[in-house]
Amino acid sequence: MNTPLPQTTIEPQPDTLNKVAETIDLIQPEVKTSELDKIVVRGGRELKGDIRISGAKNAVLKHMCAALLTEEAVTFTNVPTGLRDVRFLGQVLSHLGMNVALSSDGKAILRAQEIKTHIAPYDLVRKMRASVLVLGPLLARHGEAHVSLPGGCSIGGRPIDLHLRGLEAMGAEIEIDSGYIKAKAPTGGLKGAIIDFPFVSVGATDQLLMTATLAKGETILRNAAREPEIVDQGNALIKMGAKIEGLGTSEIRIQGVDKLHGTTHAVVADRIETGTYLCGLGLTGGSLRLKNTHIDLMPSLIAPLMRAGLDIQQEGDDIIASRRHALVRGTDIMTEPHPGFPTDMQAQFMAMMCLCEGASMITETIFENRFMHVPELNRMGANISVQGQSAIVRGVKKLTGAEVMATDLRASVALVLAGMVAEGETVVNRIYHLERGYENIVEKLSGVGADIRKA
Ligand code: EPZ
């Protein structure tokens, strides 16, 4: 795992907390990105220089929900506080009664001293589907939760049946009523259960891992997700007093405790952001130093990137990488739960394969509709054909800039990467998708030589 940031564990007393909260900005009422914002990128530049990798979006969203489990303050550092998803989830949590203080230097101080309401309304949850992860912690802490059903998104239906069945196994009574999940814990509180997942689900593992920390007795999660973000969540929970074994394996055991307490935790580096910039390098050539991240977080990503022709190595807390030849070599990948190739890297890898020597077969096994970047890449001159869950990418000599539409977070960034090598100008519309998961992407890429700006 990447060496944790040097940190001192502070247990802020209420008055200290309030003082600190006064000095750092609370969440903004609304994120200031209009639907019309776009990114303009011109191709032809190599990437050269340093990029600091932010804390992982898919870890910090769970950490924020876990802060509901205690009345004490929980402090997170290395937080990508600029992300729309972080700020939207902050709105949901503060609606529930949590004091959410996010500072521009990457610190989040969260304190749910009391739960003001157990209702997470549709108009907040719809903006941030991971808000459904407040369900279990609210049940465990407060005994009741009404959370709007999150609905699907562009990459798939995203059902949450495994979340709900797991909570029912722990004794919760759950009904779906007018678009809301209405859940109630039994009078004696939730109890431990043995939960066998029929297939790996990151969200369901997150949800039940958090909830089980306060349930009575032992919970065993079988066929649990093994992602580094799950391990990071479990490590933070252990620092809050939870009793958890088996993190990073497919069987996680949790012994419930009566209470959890505050702590300070540095969020693990974002392996998907890391991989995204490595794919950009595969397209443009050059060399990058990606700071504060670790190859151990992404074993199944590093291997195909090196097969494709990148030189990648760890140097202290940084990854240094360069492209060996003028073109990357066609390399096949198939997405799988960790430690397999991450589905969140599929679009970016495909963008890199557009200019490969030879061809690449890319198979998506996690989501049913995660090839929306294909028509947009083909409009830029790529040669990609989709057959069911697989896409065949045949390398072309060049891409040409075009006006393209972002559809989901990872498809959007794939278009930005393609724009960095396309001849002429590429305009990526609807970049609010991008700002959900990539902190300061324009600054980070222009800082290493890309010709990119917001418009
Ligand atoms: C998490 O989503 C990530 N999001 C996703 O990242 C990531 O793609 C996904 O895990 C897989 O790694 C966050 O962590 C916030 P799942 P999640 O439960 O938890 C089906 C990004 O780009 N399923 O592992 O929703 C589901 O439909 C985002 O950063 C059920 O059928 O993913 C999917 O096909 C996108 N029932 C598959 O399982 C359930 O109850 C895996 O979903 C739960 C899931």
Nearest CA owner, ligand 1 atom 30:
159
Mean pLDDT of 9-35: 45
Nearest CA owner, ligand 1 atom 9:
202
- Residues serving a catalytic function are 153
Mean pLDDT of 5-25: 41
Ligand 1: does its nearest atom lie under 6 Å from the Cβ of 408?
Answer: no
Q: Is the dihedral of CA 333, 334, 340, 343 positive or negative?
A: positive
C-alpha distances in Å from residue 325, one per residue of 14, 227, 334, 358:
57, 32, 24, 14
Ligand 1: does its nearest atom lie under 6 Å from the Cβ of 204?
Answer: yes
pLDDT digits (tens, 9 = 90+) for 259-301: 999 999 999 999 999 999 999 999 999 999 999 999 999 999 9
The residue assigned the tokens 């004794």 is: 171
Ligand 1: does its nearest atom lie under 6 Å from the Cβ of 65?
Answer: no
Average pLDDT across the chain, whole number: 91
pLDDT the model gives residue 19: 45
Nearest CA owner, ligand 1 atom 27:
158
Position 254 pLDDT exceeds 90: yes
Mean pLDDT of 15-29: 44
Beta bridge partners of 147: 120, 181
Residue 227 CA: nearest ligand 1 atom is 12
pLDDT digits (tens, 9 = 90+) for 219-239: 999 999 999 999 999 999 999
Nearest CA owner, ligand 1 atom 41:
201
Position 2 pLDDT exceeds 70: no
pTM: 0.93
Mean pLDDT of 335-361: 98
pLDDT the model gives residue 109: 96
pLDDT the model gives residue 10: 34
pLDDT the model gives residue 32: 54
- Going from the Cα of 203 to the center of ligand 1, the distance in angstroms, rounded, reads 6
Ligand 1: does its nearest atom lie under 6 Å from the Cβ of 159?
Answer: yes
Ligand 1: does its nearest atom lie under 6 Å from the Cβ of 181?
Answer: no
pLDDT the model gives residue 34: 59
Confidence of residue 37 (pLDDT cuts 50, 70, 90): confident
pLDDT the model gives residue 15: 47
pLDDT the model gives residue 154: 73
pLDDT digits (tens, 9 = 90+) for 407-442: 889 999 999 999 999 999 999 998 888 989 999 999
- Going from the Cα of 159 to the center of ligand 1, the distance in angstroms, rounded, reads 9
C-alpha distances in Å from residue 192, one per residue of 68, 112, 204, 232, 238:
19, 24, 15, 22, 17
pLDDT digits (tens, 9 = 90+) for 57-114: 999 999 999 999 999 999 999 999 999 999 999 999 999 999 999 998 999 999 999 9
Ligand 1: does its nearest atom lie under 6 Å from the Cβ of 344?
Answer: yes
Ligand 1: does its nearest atom lie under 6 Å from the Cβ of 41?
Answer: no
- Going from the Cα of 324 to the center of ligand 1, the distance in angstroms, rounded, reads 34
- Going from the Cα of 343 to the center of ligand 1, the distance in angstroms, rounded, reads 9
